[in-house]
Structure 1
Amino acid sequence: MSGRRILTGLGEDGKSAILIDEPLDHSAGGAAMVWSAPALPIDNALPADAPFPVFSFDQMHAGGASFMVMEYPAEMGEFWHATDTVECVAMLSGEIVFMTETGEVTLRAGDTLVDRGIVHCWRNDTDQPARAAIVMMPAHPVGKGRTV
């Protein structure tokens, strides 16, 4: 998967600047961490680079917010889980099935989803990869969730 991560901030001279412009680094699981912040509200005076340069489940419990791009491989099977997070998902390409304990919905490019920490699963029924942009924020647990 191609793509770049570009981050802005203040340069050494105190003027607005592009601080990072590099290829996205995808982990074996298909996640590419674009950026994360250790706490909310976000302190824009901190360095531009993410404290978690590669996706880790530790991010979900770190107290801040993360932005990543996820690729779901073609014909990806189910992985049921719940996390103590709110995840804002925007589909960029392809299609993916989002499953709950009582139903499912197919998400396609242009669709958005806000997952509020419930037990859920992702599945790709197509022969093409799907890609989503995800903002993840910590949340209090809900219901009978099994956290990752």
Structure 2
Amino acid sequence: MERMISTCRRVVTGLDDEGRSCVVIDGPIPDFESAIAAYAWRTESLPADNSGREDTAVPYEIDHLHSGGSNFALCTFPPCTEAYMHATDTIDYLVVLKGRVCMVLEAGEVTVGAGDFVVVRGVMHGWRNPFDEPCVCAVVNLPAGPVGGGRTI
């Protein structure tokens, strides 16, 4: 599978020793060899703590979705994969960067492609890629109150 993660540049700002704004990280998103996603950045809480210079990118884990913080990830949906239906107590913002993928919902599905923005508001959903190429999305997850039956993962 083609991996877009290692080719994406990540620029993170912070403060230098004199308290001036500067770039503290400039390089690729760490590739933790996850088949699902790689976090470009995450916070442990909201509001976020913007102090420090440490890299907060960590390997993708489902538990991070419900940690009370924010996640900024690059997700790859491999070709010819089926949907895993789930709900999370989050609001998810996705931008499709490359390829196409079908968002499967309880009442139907919609195909989204490069340039499309998607907002998933805690509802039951899944991702199915019936196409011959991977789909790559930038995703932000933020905590949200449950809707419907609440989270399943």
Same fold (TM over 0.5): yes
Local SS of the residue matching 2:50: coil
- The aligned runs of 1:35-46 (5 Å cut-off) are 35-46=41-52
Query: Does the aligned pair in 2 maintain the 1:68–1:133 contact within 8 Å?
Result: yes
Q: Which among 19, 28, 35 is matched to residue 29 of structure 1? A: 35
CA distance in 2: counterparts of 1:27 and 1:11, whole angstroms: 31
Structure 2 gap segments, 5+ residues each:
none
Q: Which among 74, 87, 104 is matched to residue 82 of structure 1? A: 87
1:92 aligns with 2:97: yes
Runs of 4+ deviating beyond 6 Å: none
CA distance in 1: counterparts of 2:99 and 2:13, whole angstroms: 29
CA distance in 1: counterparts of 2:85 and 2:25, whole angstroms: 35
Query: Does the aligned pair in 2 maintain the 1:27–1:55 contact within 8 Å?
Result: no
2:75 match: 70
Deviates more, 1:89-98 or 1:57-66: 57-66
The amino acid that maps onto 1:105 is V
The amino acid that maps onto 1:38 is E
CA distance in 2: counterparts of 1:98 and 1:26, whole angstroms: 25
Q: CA RMSD in A?
A: 1.5
Query: Does the aligned pair in 1 maintain the 2:82–2:128 contact within 8 Å?
Result: yes
Q: Which among 54, 63, 69 is matched to residue 58 of structure 1? A: 63
Q: CA deviation at 1:4?
A: 2.5
Structure 1 gap segments, 5+ residues each:
none
CA distance in 2: counterparts of 1:34 and 1:48, whole angstroms: 13
The amino acid that maps onto 2:123 is I
Local SS of the residue matching 2:12: strand
Q: Structure 1 length normalisation: TM-score?
A: 0.91
CA distance in 2: counterparts of 1:73 and 1:57, whole angstroms: 18
Number of matched pairs: 147
* Overall identity of the aligned pairs, in %: 40
CA distance in 1: counterparts of 2:64 and 2:17, whole angstroms: 29
CA distance in 2: counterparts of 1:4 and 1:131, whole angstroms: 15
Q: Structure 2 length normalisation: TM-score?
A: 0.88
1:3 aligns with 2:32: no
CA distance in 1: counterparts of 2:52 and 2:148, whole angstroms: 35
Q: CA deviation at 1:121?
A: 0.7
Q: CA deviation at 1:30?
A: 2.8
Query: Does the aligned pair in 1 maintain the 2:98–2:136 contact within 8 Å?
Result: yes
